[in-house]
Amino acid sequence: MSKKYGHVIEFYGETCPHCIAMKPVISEVESATGAKIEKLEVWNNEENARKMESHSKIIGEACGGFAGVPAFVNVDTNQALCGAHDKEDIIRLLEGEDCTDNVCKPHTKNHKKLKS
């Protein structure tokens, strides 16, 4: 049985240096897992910015009180990461681990984990 990954969206800014630095990491994650991360540019696209705004509560929690980029949201588990992260953190987010306080850790009772 193949592993199930959540629907993860990356919100980014076209010229954001941290977002640009994450491009090879995201490519590596997609290659390693076979998962597809939806990428939405928010600085120049109002529709994408509105989508990001709809997740601003959890992004803000991950970003320390504001919605910044890059931000990664697992819409299935309502978890988010903010800023540059390593491959392992992005994979944990895909797998549905608890990423409270912008740190992914083993699942807790407060968040639903994706079933394999």
CATH at 80: 3.40.30.10
Share of the chain above pLDDT 90, in %: 71
Does residue 107 belong to any structural domain of this protein? no
| pLDDT bucket at 44, cuts 50 / 70 / 90 | very high
Does residue 81 belong to any structural domain of this protein? yes
Which residue carries 């978890």 as its tokens?
A: 79
Q: For residues 112 and 16, which has the higher predicted lDDT (pLDDT)?
A: 16
Range of the domain at 67: 8-102
Does residue 65 belong to any structural domain of this protein? yes
* Residues 53/103/106/13 CA torsion (nearest 10 deg): 40
> Which residue type sits at 41?
E
Does residue 36 belong to any structural domain of this protein? yes
Number of domains in the chain: 1
Distance in angstroms between the alpha carbons of the first and the last residue of the chain: 8
Question: What confidence score (pLDDT) does residue 101 get?
Answer: 75
Please list, residue by residue across 28-59, b when 16 or more beta carbons sit within 10 angstroms of its beta carbon and e when fewer do.
ebeeebebebebbbbeeeeebeebbeebeebb
